[in-house]
Amino acid sequence: MTLPPAENLPRTDWTREEIAELFDLPFDELMWEAQGVHRRHHARGEVQLCTLLSIKTGGCAEDCGYCSQSAHAETGLKATKLMDVRAVLQAAAEAKDAGSQRFCMGAAWRNPKDRDMPAIVEMIEGVRQMGMETCMTLGMLTKEQAQTLAVAGLDYYNHNVDTSPENYENIISTRTFQDRLDTLEEVRSAGINVCSGGIVGMGETRGDRVGFIHALATLPRHPESVPVNALVPVKGTVLGDMLADTPLAQIDEIEFVRTVAVARITMPLSMVRLSAGRESMSEATQALCFMAGANSIFTGDKLLTTGNRGDSADAALFAKLGIVPMVSEEPMRRDEALEAAE
């Protein structure tokens, strides 16, 4: 397959057939193409460090089959109230001291209540005052809520599409794929940067992986951040129980790397984040993901309710690979700032 010339990127008119052709490339050719795209747009050898904190855990009304925080799951997870603002800011300060550049806060809600917004705003403002980027994931948003977050200075809003439109109803029944897109549109319209990706290893087909990348790569503007997650099967969740002790319980690592590479090629300016599931990946697999164009990770020992590799393991891997924490500007935000200045 012949890729379009660099000056024509980024494209938003990718077809599913083109994306499927990328997946089908010989592995070395796919990696070559992905690395070329990455080097044209991103600093070499730099990876963005982010920290994710659950600011409200469990009791979510949604029935996402992968999520231990769903009220429909039987994981024994105890639901909590929204964290105190001071405790959140303390966690953010510790994350900054550990080298994180972005602080992400997640609440297990179908959608936030208006009564919770003042505390949310205070968290955003407090983290920004520390000099860190802010990201929130709070579920579906109204136009007014998105505007409130924008006025508070929120840098990113995370709302994953999870999987292909066709597979979505097999994973979640309490909302639709269009609901996801509607929230992304509210976020974009409010002037907040979009963070949206998907989860692989949920028993989906390659066609579904093509479909989830196609959904993001054909948005009017690509997400500034694209997390690629590997399912962490949690006992007591629908998918955790369904996939436990089966060959589907963990996606083939080469197929995972292919997914990262295709995301990089189709969304060349986006930060592609190697997200959930990294704690079970070998160092070699993670290295291949970085070669394929992943340039953002979550640090620390925990991602919401599941494990993560931890700062010391990441530092050791970075040292082996000659990778350093990112100091360059993110391409899409840099270009946006230049356009605003003209």
pLDDT on residue 175: 87
Sheet strands (E) in 189-270: 193-195, 198-200, 225-230
pTM above 0.85, yes or no: yes
Is residue 274 a contact partner of residue 73, using CB atoms and an 8 Å limit?
Answer: no
| Residue in the block written with tokens 């907040």 | 192
**What is the number of other CB atoms lying within 10 angstroms of the CB of residue 37?**
23
pLDDT on residue 65: 67
Is residue 204 a contact partner of residue 255, using CB atoms and an 8 Å limit?
Answer: no
pLDDT on residue 259: 96
Q: Which of 50, 102, 135, 175 is catalytic?
A: 135
Q: Is 289 a catalytic residue?
A: no
pLDDT on residue 305: 46
Q: Which of 60, 175, 209, 309 is catalytic?
A: 60
**What is the number of other CB atoms lying within 10 angstroms of the CB of residue 194?**
23
Dist. CA 109–CA 120, nearest whole Å? 13
Cα torsion 76, 80, 85, 86: sign: negative
Dist. CA 280–CA 290, nearest whole Å? 16
Q: Which of 102, 273, 278, 309 is catalytic?
A: 273
Q: Is 64 a catalytic residue?
A: yes
The tens place of each residue's pLDDT in the chain, 342 residues long, gives 445 444 455 899 999 999 999 999 999 999 999 999 999 999 888 999 888 898 988 667 776 767 776 666 566 667 778 899 999 999 999 888 888 889 999 888 878 888 999 999 999 999 999 999 999 999 889 999 999 999 999 999 999 999 999 999 988 888 899 999 999 999 999 999 999 999 898 888 999 999 999 999 999 999 999 999 888 766 767 666 677 666 655 678 999 999 999 999 999 999 999 987 787 788 999 999 999 999 998 886 544 444 455 567 888 888 999 999 888 778 776 666 555 555
In sequence order, which ranges of 73-196 are alpha helices (DSSP H)? 85-97, 117-129, 143-152, 168-171, 177-189
Is residue 82 a contact partner of residue 107, using CB atoms and an 8 Å limit?
Answer: yes
Q: Is 67 a catalytic residue?
A: yes
Q: Which of 50, 64, 258, 289 is catalytic?
A: 64
Dist. CA 164–CA 243, nearest whole Å? 19
Structure tokens at 93: 């300060």
pLDDT on residue 171: 86
Q: Which of 50, 102, 195, 278 is catalytic?
A: 195
| Residue in the block written with tokens 């992400």 | 104
| Residue in the block written with tokens 């070699």 | 284
Q: Which of 104, 258, 264, 309 is catalytic?
A: 104
**DSSP result, 303-328:** ETTEE---HHHHHHHHHHHT-EE--S
Dist. CA 157–CA 154, nearest whole Å? 7
Dist. CA 75–CA 56, nearest whole Å? 16
Residue of 130, 107, 104 whose CA lies nearest to 117:
107
